[in-house]
């Protein structure tokens, strides 16, 4: 910080929560799962996909609760949602990151059913009810430990990339289910101050923002530099759901053969006109019959179709597979 800034203060333009990477309910994994669900025939695989869709929706609803509280906190923050931070050999999935001039905070969102208790050793135990209404308990991996790892990774990244070494980086584990009761009267003090319910977000961040013992004062440019770096390092991945559920062609609903033939014929005609070539150069009727019979859904499967080699697949494979997978 320059001497003038120290003497006269920095001009602040961030007056309220500003989402640099915004929250959306249009989750790409949820969209992919719903598309896959609609393609898969009835059976165990479809049941498993449906369960995962419900769990994912449940988690998104929890993140929506956190988003609402942040958006309406009236605090001078930069916020990012859903950052998959990949750096060197480290990977951290960050639900929310908030950046103020006084600190950066990682919010790990948990929308868990049942009640949570933490013992004096820091072990997390969840109490649920079975189908007969009786309580049962199960241990869960500590989200505090998980988020502490995220904090350590972010500290390392900021130090290496932006030479920021002393900025307080805080961890908050946010329980986003309004019905969850958190019993933490026996837990270690470090966990107690880290674990909150989503309706405590504003008061908790406000306390850290107004902490007079914290003399750190990050310039707005540096705040935006941190946000830009996180966006740059964000590396979302597309889950291979078909591999996860071990799906084969037998599990996937097939298009009506007549409709499929019409789509393939229309594509062949349009492509031949664009290339000013004969339609059978794209694929002939015998090749189309073999394609329909084998119903390829990947490039490797398309290679097994009569008349299709790597060159033809490079030219037409993507469009043809979209017809079979659409």
Q: Report pLDDT for 82.
A: 96
Residue 202 neighbours by CB under 8 Å, 6+ apart:
69, 72, 73, 74, 75
Q: Report pLDDT for 317.
A: 92
Question: Which spans in 245-284 are helix H?
Answer: 257-275, 279-282
State which residues of the chain have pLDDT below 70: 1-10
The per-residue pLDDT for range 53-69, each reduced to its tens digit, is 999 999 999 999 999 99
Q: Report pLDDT for 77.
A: 97
d(CA 211, CA 254): 62
pTM equals 0.77
Q: Report pLDDT for 3.
A: 41
d(CA 106, CA 148): 9
């Amino acid at each position: 910080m320059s001497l003038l800034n120290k003497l006269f203060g920095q001009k602040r333009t961030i007056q309220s929560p500003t989402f640099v990477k915004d929250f959306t309910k249009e989750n790409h994994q949820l969209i992919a799962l719903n598309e896959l669900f609609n393609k898969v025939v009835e059976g165990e695989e479809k049941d498993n996909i449906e369960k995962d869709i419900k769990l994912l929706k449940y988690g998104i609803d929890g993140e929506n609760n956190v988003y609402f509280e942040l958006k309406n906190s009236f605090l001078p923050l930069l916020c990012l949602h859903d950052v998959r931070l990949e750096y060197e050999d480290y990977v951290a999935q960050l639900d929310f990151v908030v950046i103020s001039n006084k600190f950066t905070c990682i919010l790990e969102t948990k929308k868990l059913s049942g009640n949570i208790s933490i013992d004096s050793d820091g072990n997390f135990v969840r109490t649920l009810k079975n189908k007969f209404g009786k309580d049962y308990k199960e241990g869960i991996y500590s989200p505090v430990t998980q988020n502490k790892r995220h904090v350590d990774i972010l500290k390392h990244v900021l130090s290496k990339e932006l030479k920021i070494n002393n900025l307080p980086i805080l961890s908050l584990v946010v329980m986003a289910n309004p019905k969850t009761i958190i019993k933490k009267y026996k837990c270690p003090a470090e966990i107690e101050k880290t674990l909150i319910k989503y309706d405590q977000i504003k008061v908790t961040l406000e306390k850290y923002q107004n902490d007079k013992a914290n003399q750190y004062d990050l310039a707005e440019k540096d705040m935006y530099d941190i946000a830009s770096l996180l966006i740059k390092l964000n590396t979302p991945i597309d889950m291979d759901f078909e591999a996860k559920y071990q799906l084969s062609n037998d599990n996937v609903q097939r298009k009506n053969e007549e409709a499929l033939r019409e789509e393939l014929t229309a594509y062949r005609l349009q492509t031949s006109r664009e290339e000013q070539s004969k339609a059978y150069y794209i694929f002939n009727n015998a090749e189309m019959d073999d394609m329909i019979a084998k119903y390829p859904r990947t490039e490797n499967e398309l290679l097994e179709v009569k008349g299709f080699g790597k060159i033809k697949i490079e030219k037409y494979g993507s469009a043809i597979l979209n017809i079979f997978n659409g």
